[in-house]
Amino acid sequence: EKIFTMLENSQMRENMLLQYADEIIKVEMGSLRGEILRFVAQYGGSCGSAVEATGKRMSLQLEARLKEILEQHKLGDLTSAAGNSVENFQNLEALLQQLLSAVRTQSSRLAKLESSCLSGPAGAGIGMTTKNGFHLQGGEAAGHSQQEVTTKEAVLDGVLAALQRVKEELEEELKSSRQRHLPAGCEMALLFPMRSRRIYTAVIPDVPLSLSSFTVC
């Protein structure tokens, strides 16, 4: 019983203290509200206009400064990214173009050599003298010349096939290098292979991101 009595007394005291504190807070808040209303009524016109004008000027200055900083940063990033990507791409493209031109030049030279070999007289070797001093007549000289032309033709065909393969590989490399490099002004590219209609992709940045343009291919 004593314990219950002590608990009831403590609860009553707590309720009384809470009620007293609530009344004090209400009175103080009412007086503070009255003082604020009187201050606003007395100085509201001049202070309000001054504060509003100052706030507008500060906001305009901050916006102008932020725009200037963002433009400078954006121009710097675009210039550096575009310069690096364009310079690397131009160097690679120039190198590949040189290799392609060299391959084409060699192909044309070999084609000319092949045509000159094939257009030569196959049977003009009548009376041809070999290294051992024997005299080849008629069909023997023609057969020997035809054999040499066939051998040269096979070698030239092999060389032309190899050069054609090199040319195709260089063209594929040039095409892939053009596809790998980003256009000037692009900061990032995201590639998501979609093999099913049920698959979807969501890009969630870790920090707030503001985009001026967004391209989906």
Q: What's the pLDDT tens digit per position in 79-102?
A: 555 555 556 666 666 666 777 777
Query: CA 162, CA 168: separation in Å to the nearest integer?
Result: 10
pLDDT tens, residue by residue, 45-71? 666 676 677 777 877 877 777 778 777
Share of the chain above pLDDT 90, in %: 0
State whether the Cα torsion 167-169-173-175 is positive or negative: positive
69 burial type by CB count under 10 A (0-12 exposed, 13-18 middle, 19+ buried) = exposed
What is the number of residues in the chain?
Answer: 217
- pLDDT (average), residues 131-143: 46
Query: CA 171, CA 91: separation in Å to the nearest integer?
Result: 15
Please give the sequence-ordered ranges of beta strands (E in DSSP) within 69-174, or none if there are none. Answer: 128-129, 135-136
pLDDT of residue 130: 41
Other CB atoms within 10 A of residue 141 CB? 20
Over 50: is that where the pLDDT of 41 sits?
yes
Helices 2-119, 138-180: crossing angle, 10 deg rounding: 160
pLDDT of residue 21: 83
State the average pLDDT for the chain: 68
Over 50: is that where the pLDDT of 138 sits?
no
pLDDT of residue 47: 65
Which amino acid type is present at position 110? L
Beta-bridge mates of residue 129: 135
The three-state secondary structure class of 189 is: coil
Contacts of 99 (CB under 8 A, 6+ apart): 170
Other CB atoms within 10 A of residue 176 CB? 10
State whether the Cα torsion 117-121-123-127 is positive or negative: negative
Over 50: is that where the pLDDT of 134 sits?
no
- Which of 78-87, 121-130, 145-154 is least confident? 121-130
